Amino acid sequence: MTLLLILVSGVSCAIGTLRLIADPPARLTAPLLCAAIALVTVVGADGLDHLGAGIAARTEARYAYALDSDCQYPRPSYDETPGWFF
């Protein structure tokens, strides 16, 4: 889901840039709207990654006692990417 949000952000930036180059608008509403969509999706992707890291940490703590037994499975982990907003 995070990658989808980042992809939407990139597509929005590309569309806004191409529209701005191909047909310079009299008002900056359309390019600003594309920039706002890109910003919202990047912040949403960062928030989703932060939420996933919290869920993974709680899940690992909840099942830590079961993983310390004779089980040979590796301990699950989740690496959160460094966020810009959260």
Residue 25 has pLDDT above 70, yes or no: yes
Residue 84 has pLDDT above 70, yes or no: yes
- DSSP letter for 63, please: T
Question: If you average pLDDT over residues 39-58, what whole number do you get?
Answer: 86
- H runs (alpha helix) in 23-75: 29-62, 64-67
Tokens of 26: 């009299």
Q: Read off the pLDDT band of 33 (50, 70, 90).
A: confident
pTM score over 0.75: no
- How many residues are present in the chain? 86
How do the domains of the chain map onto residue ranges?
Answer: 2-67
Query: Which helix H or strand E contains 19, and what residues bound it?
Result: helix 2-22
pLDDT in tens, 8-19: 888 888 888 888
